[in-house]
Structure 1
């Protein structure tokens, strides 16, 4: 429900609040180029809220109305108190959305579980929203990492790429792999503006890794599909694996990722070795 929105006052409130914050307040590096004005830049607020700079600029200019989820993300990024958050939603005329934007927890589709159980010699895992790893088989754990040791809230493929040093050893071409993951995440963020967990993930990785910050700001997008990756595994050695993505028709936000090797290749031998190792 929208009641008496005041876009001009909303824009002034947003500008005033970001002027009160420093990069350090939101976890961004302090050693940035000299600023002409105090506070956060528009592009920094947009980056952390997982929305475009153009969208945020038009919002401050009073040219567009913001959805409840976007307002929730901005309230989180701008570190608003409960009173300030209430005021933000009142200015936008979106009082009904004055609640955190939450989505139902994903449950792995039974068909995908059965496929994982049947793929005993093939690495496979199920990706959900924000590249959350929802399920995996023993071969995927042996190939990539023991997902079970990672707390569920941190069990995100893109988060592992940027925070686990072992992933940079696993992928000799880590930069291209990570850049493509960022481009894929960008597509999902555009579909779900204001998803607070997405905003938190983008904000965390932006503060922790300069590469992520640069690639996210570049706004390159890519979809999930098929491809080939080179891995340097500590047990199986050098592997050239093809991967494919199968999307669940019951829940299009769940994707089964399967890794295979060309029959008769050294990589196929490596996968057999890995299966024996995983079994023991």
Structure 2
């Protein structure tokens, strides 16, 4: 499953048109006579205030320069949230010519020290491919000991879909799976980044029907904060919140920190895991 920016742009826009109902905009639905789900291209173009031809060119991914104003107007008509709006801009923005993929520079010693200093909360560093670059002891105790894995298997998307132990860890596995795919999809669309996640996408598409299903949903979500419920074989069931922070000097890396409310079962669960 090769990531094609133009094809993805069209599929994404069609999927967002399909989820809108004509009645919401005062348009006649015509019942069974409507041949496409959601809004027609002509209706969407009218709502966005752009010509039908201009919108068709956008949805077909033709090599036309689209202004930020046009993209914002389409995003507003489609009722996109901020993450979806950003995704649209990334896909429609011309891609600069790039050379061979360049890996991230080595992590600074200070970043490793920072992870070690976060001694009471699971924390790890992940890149745009969801590859885990570094972690602390609580994270290894909670999720998996990445140090025991070959480097190519230290990947959250791969573990969520292909590792039974990690899969069973999440009470709502589908929510976790959709989030990791959304992170992967949003980040792979960045014009400034060579799509080095392509081999991972192809592997998961070939081995996981669930990944293929979720990837086809075009789900977009910025992974800035949230929470998951865990079912750990040693510590039982508990909920942890998380915050995602970009690292200065490493634009393709993020620090993910899981936290527990003071006095909560989750706080006690982390203590159990650390023992």
Rounded Cα–Cα distance in structure 2 between residues aligned with 1:52 and 1:98: 16
Rounded Cα–Cα distance in structure 2 between residues aligned with 1:220 and 1:172: 20
Rounded Cα–Cα distance in structure 2 between residues aligned with 1:132 and 1:54: 23
Using a 3 Å threshold, how does the CA distance of structure 1 residues 64 and 269 change in structure 2: closer, same or farther? Answer: same
The answer as to 2:175 corresponding to 1:176 is yes
Unmatched tracts of structure 2, length 5 or more: 12-56, 65-95
What is the DSSP-based 3-state SS (H/G/I as helix, E as strand, rest coil) of the residue aligned with 2:129?
A: helix
The answer as to 2:167 corresponding to 1:213 is no
- Asked if the contact 1:49–1:194 (Cα under 8 Å) also holds between the matched residues in 2, the reply is no
What is the DSSP-based 3-state SS (H/G/I as helix, E as strand, rest coil) of the residue aligned with 1:159?
A: helix
TM superposition score normalised by structure 1: 0.64
- Asked if the contact 2:179–2:223 (Cα under 8 Å) also holds between the matched residues in 1, the reply is no
Q: Which residue of 2 aligns with 1:142?
A: 141
Using a 3 Å threshold, how does the CA distance of structure 1 residues 111 and 175 change in structure 2: closer, same or farther? Answer: same
Structure having the larger proportion of residues in helix: 1
What is the DSSP-based 3-state SS (H/G/I as helix, E as strand, rest coil) of the residue aligned with 1:254?
A: strand
The answer as to 2:260 corresponding to 1:266 is no
Question: What pairs with 1:203-242 in structure 2 (closer than 5 Å)?
Answer: 203-242=202-241
Question: What pairs with 1:1-280 in structure 2 (closer than 5 Å)?
Answer: 47-49=1-3, 51-53=5-7, 63-64=62-63, 101-192=100-191, 195=194, 197-276=196-275
Q: CA RMSD in A?
A: 2.7
Q: Number of residue pairs matched?
A: 197
- Asked if the contact 1:50–1:194 (Cα under 8 Å) also holds between the matched residues in 2, the reply is no
Using a 3 Å threshold, how does the CA distance of structure 1 residues 189 and 248 change in structure 2: closer, same or farther? Answer: same
TM superposition score normalised by structure 2: 0.65
CA deviations 1:77-111 (Å, max 9, x no partner) are xxxxxxxxxxxxxxxxxxxx999731134422333
Rounded Cα–Cα distance in structure 2 between residues aligned with 1:238 and 1:62: 46
Give the CA deviation at 1:164: 0.3
What is the DSSP-based 3-state SS (H/G/I as helix, E as strand, rest coil) of the residue aligned with 2:228?
A: strand
Using a 3 Å threshold, how does the CA distance of structure 1 residues 98 and 126 change in structure 2: closer, same or farther? Answer: closer
Give the CA deviation at 1:222: 1.1
Give the CA deviation at 1:272: 0.9
What is the DSSP-based 3-state SS (H/G/I as helix, E as strand, rest coil) of the residue aligned with 2:125?
A: strand
- Asked if the contact 2:171–2:231 (Cα under 8 Å) also holds between the matched residues in 1, the reply is yes
Rounded Cα–Cα distance in structure 1 between residues aligned with 2:115 and 2:262: 21
Using a 3 Å threshold, how does the CA distance of structure 1 residues 99 and 250 change in structure 2: closer, same or farther? Answer: closer
Using a 3 Å threshold, how does the CA distance of structure 1 residues 99 and 192 change in structure 2: closer, same or farther? Answer: closer
CA deviations 1:102-161 (Å, max 9, x no partner) are 113442233321211111221111111201100001111110001012211221111110
Using a 3 Å threshold, how does the CA distance of structure 1 residues 162 and 196 change in structure 2: closer, same or farther? Answer: same
Rounded Cα–Cα distance in structure 1 between residues aligned with 2:8 and 2:159: 30
- Asked if the contact 2:6–2:62 (Cα under 8 Å) also holds between the matched residues in 1, the reply is no
- Asked if the contact 2:170–2:229 (Cα under 8 Å) also holds between the matched residues in 1, the reply is yes
CA deviations 1:30-52 (Å, max 9, x no partner) are xxxxxxxxxxxxxxxxx423535
Give the CA deviation at 1:236: 1.1
What is the DSSP-based 3-state SS (H/G/I as helix, E as strand, rest coil) of the residue aligned with 2:2?
A: helix
Using a 3 Å threshold, how does the CA distance of structure 1 residues 106 and 175 change in structure 2: closer, same or farther? Answer: farther
Give the CA deviation at 1:258: 0.8
- Asked if the contact 1:172–1:230 (Cα under 8 Å) also holds between the matched residues in 2, the reply is yes
Give the CA deviation at 1:196: 5.1
